[in-house]
């Protein structure tokens, strides 16, 4: 059961309004990044994530370095550049 902060009505409505095509595009971007890792890297990343239960403090310093290295291979900055237009709905910001 979810016991975190309740989502605002606006966020829920926005999530419901997302077109399926946008979700599919986001899934494609995420899948491409995941498949870019070797099978061993994917397995190790999944193992570290499971072991830590999402808390970096439960990992040793060596495991944290390894996790950082694996996440770096995912190129999260590049992924965010690909996903940002989807979040904006394809609109471009006006330049001043």
pLDDT of residue 65: 93
Q: What is the pLDDT of residues 12-71, one digit of tens each?
A: 666 666 677 778 888 888 888 889 889 999 999 999 989 888 888 888 999 999 999 998
pLDDT of residue 55: 85
- The whole-angstrom separation of Cα 14 and Cα 68 is 32
Structure tokens at 86: 């989807």
Are the CB atoms for 28 and 82 separated by under 8 Å? no
* Terminal Cα distance for the chain, rounded: 46
Are the CB atoms for 71 and 45 separated by under 8 Å? yes
Is pLDDT of 94 > 80? no
pLDDT of residue 6: 66
Q: What is the DSSP letter of 53?
A: T
- The whole-angstrom separation of Cα 48 and Cα 46 is 6
Segments making up each domain of the chain, as ranges = 39-85
Element (H, E) at 85: helix 76-87
Are the CB atoms for 30 and 74 separated by under 8 Å? no
Helix (H, G, I), strand (E, B) or coil at 55: coil
> What is the model's pTM?
0.59
């Amino acid at each position: 059961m979810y016991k975190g902060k309740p989502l605002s009505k606006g966020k829920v409505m926005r999530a419901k309004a997302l077109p399926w095509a946008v979700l599919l595009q986001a899934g494609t971007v995420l899948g491409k990044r995941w498949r870019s890792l070797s099978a061993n890297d994917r397995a190790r990343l999944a193992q570290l994530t499971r072991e830590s239960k999402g808390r970096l403090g439960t990992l040793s310093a060596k495991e944290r370095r390894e996790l950082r290295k694996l996440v770096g291979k995912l190129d999260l900055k590049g992924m965010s550049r690909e996903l940002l237009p989807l979040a904006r709905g394809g609109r471009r910001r006006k330049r001043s």
